[in-house]
Chain A
């Protein structure tokens, strides 16, 4: 029974495909999976927007949206109808083609990332050998769409927002990759399915998730920071800093194109969270061996939900960083920690079993964290500003 519930979607898909001729089964199966992914994540996006607005409202002792439907849960529908019926404005001097392509590329590349994410036992669209590499390749092309949007709008706010976004995303992309490389070093595989399998064993009822090791915890923290910056979420939402850049790179977008940017951003958050839970939190695995009777996909989406809540919590808490703080943090703290973590992971691998490797690895990481935090993040004293005028 539990086995069947666990595999319900897989079984359902095979049952549907059973009615088709042999040669059609593979392409139609892919189409079904793609349609499911494309339908599911926007639905989650709708739920998350209202959750976020209500959650942040509560953190600020407000009620949040509560007018549309009971407790405001139909708010996303109202928003969707509004954005669909709004006029779609393209500035006269904008590059219309690129302006149109930018949101499309963003949404397409963001959805491509889900192709390799295992969302449950046997629930992965493509079990690629280089899944992680594919994921990061797709993730990196969101920068392209952001820059396309900023450049084609022919608006200085858009361009500034896009420049900021590209600078930020490239800086944190490095940290994101380096923190994931540790996992690849340990499992010896780039396939996300294999990475989940590598964590899929329990001792004393507790799972062997990578987050429960010193290097895994450090990598997870760095991954979370870099992932937040990569998806342009608060406190790293400088590219769309409302207070100084109107709306950043999507200033000149309205109507459904704007909604696509919004959708792309949230779906990117889902995908980063999904990859994070796959790499560090055991993907679709239950957190205790006694809870394995609950279907695997519930665990995956539960982890997704928890990480979205953390994203919302962070947004309700932290103010936006300054550009120099952002860059200092990326290159002076996150990157050195990631590089050190590579070394620590190697040490862990070759020190053999025993308590000694726990002690040594933890000590190195904590020492580095404290000293880097103290030195790298020290408040800098600037002298009086000096200007040199053009002659």
Chain B
């Protein structure tokens, strides 16, 4: 009969009207500024710089290698190297960025800078409330505005951050083991002048043609396990395979370059720490 469809429709809207006051499932609205949904772990928008410890300036992982600056497709990163050096997380003196600017009005959130970074120094942030009334300066973030602690990184991307921490701890352990092995070898070789073998400085010498003997390397790895577990709070244990295989002789730079050979289209040698202009 004419009009029964209208009545059915009216009943439907009445049901919706009444239901919206009663049932929580019906009202899917999240009243954003007051309440907000948790972001998914894979969320990302603009990059930030990770630092370890409490002091952002000291703890910055970035060594101003400028790989990200070169790889950035829209060229939104600007880096100026420092004149002096400061120790990195391993303890090796490194150049640090005197200036590190990202123009987030240009950035397209492609994450390539994160993928090419050999030092796990740049990661993607999830902050999205970046509106500003200053069109140019407000969207140009300097290194202080970009710096975020490792704890913050754990907060926003827990899985990824613990993986990174495990990897860094492993690399640090390797470097330490290698330094120890080198020192021991040096001590054994030059038994007469004992002053030469001073293992206090854990500086890795990647160019040194030292062949780590399996026995000593394994022993060194055993020793290095303790600090590695301490530095990686979330990682349960060091990644297996640390000990006697050939990879033990590789520096972190070598390993990273070996892992991502295709992404650095400028050639592997440049990935070795500080590329020459």
Contacts and interface: CB of A to CB of B under 8 A. Distances in A.
Interface of A: 55, 58-63, 66, 313-314, 316-318, 333, 369-370, 372-374, 377
A205 B26 CA distance: 42
Contacts of A316: 13, 17
A62 B16 CA distance: 10
In terms of DSSP, what is the predominant structure of the interface of chain B?
Answer: helix
27 contacts: A58-B17, A58-B21, A59-B17, A59-B20, A60-B16, A61-B16, A61-B20, A61-B27, A61-B28, A62-B27, A62-B29, A63-B29, A313-B10, A313-B13, A313-B14, A313-B17, A314-B10, A316-B17, A317-B6, A317-B9, A318-B6, A318-B9, A370-B1, A373-B2, A373-B3, A374-B1, A374-B2
Nearest to A60: B16
Contacts of B13: 59, 313, 316-317
B27 to A, nearest CB: 6
A185 B9 CA distance: 35
A218 to B, nearest CB: 13
B1 A61 contact: no
A369 B1 CA distance: 9
B129 interface: no
Interface string B237-265: 00000000000000000000000000000
Which bracket fits the contact residues of B? 10 to 19
B3 to A, nearest CB: 7
A317 B9 CA distance: 6
A63 B27 CA distance: 8
B84 interface: no
A63 B16 contact: no
B29 A317 contact: no
B277 interface: no
B34 to A, nearest CB: 11
Nearest to B2: A373
Interface string B5-39: 01001101110110111000011110100000000
Contacts of B31: 63, 66
Nearest to B29: A63
Contacts of B6: 317-318
Contacts of B2: 333, 369-370, 372-374, 377
Contacts of B9: 317-318
Contacts of B10: 313-314, 317
Return the 6 tightest CB-CB contacts between A and B, nearest first.
Answer: A373-B2, A59-B13, A58-B20, A317-B13, A317-B9, A58-B17
Contacts of A60: 16
Nearest to B27: A61
A315 to B, nearest CB: 10
A253 B28 CA distance: 36
Nearest to A374: B2
Contacts of A374: 1-2
Contacts of A66: 31
A313 B29 CA distance: 21
A273 B162 CA distance: 67
Given A55-B17, A59-B16, A313-B17, 10 more contacts: A58-B20, A58-B21, A61-B27, A316-B17, A317-B6, A317-B12, A317-B13, A373-B1, A374-B2, A377-B2
Contacts of A59: 13, 16-17, 20
Contacts of A369: 1-2
- Of A55, A317, A369, chain B has the most CB atoms within 10 Å of the CB of A317
A59 B19 CA distance: 9
Interface string B125-141: 00000000000000000
B268 to A, nearest CB: 56
A318 B8 CA distance: 11
A229 to B, nearest CB: 14
Contacts of B26: 61
A337 to B, nearest CB: 10
A372 B3 CA distance: 12
B16 to A, nearest CB: 5
A333 B1 CA distance: 13
Contacts of B27: 61-63
Nearest to A373: B2
B1 to A, nearest CB: 6
B139 to A, nearest CB: 27
A317 B16 CA distance: 11
A288 B247 CA distance: 94
Nearest to B11: A317
Contacts of B19: 61
B248 to A, nearest CB: 61
Nearest to B7: A317
Interface string B93-126: 0000000000000000000000000000000000
- Of B10, B12, B21, chain A has the most CB atoms within 10 Å of the CB of B10
Interface string B167-188: 0000000000000000000000
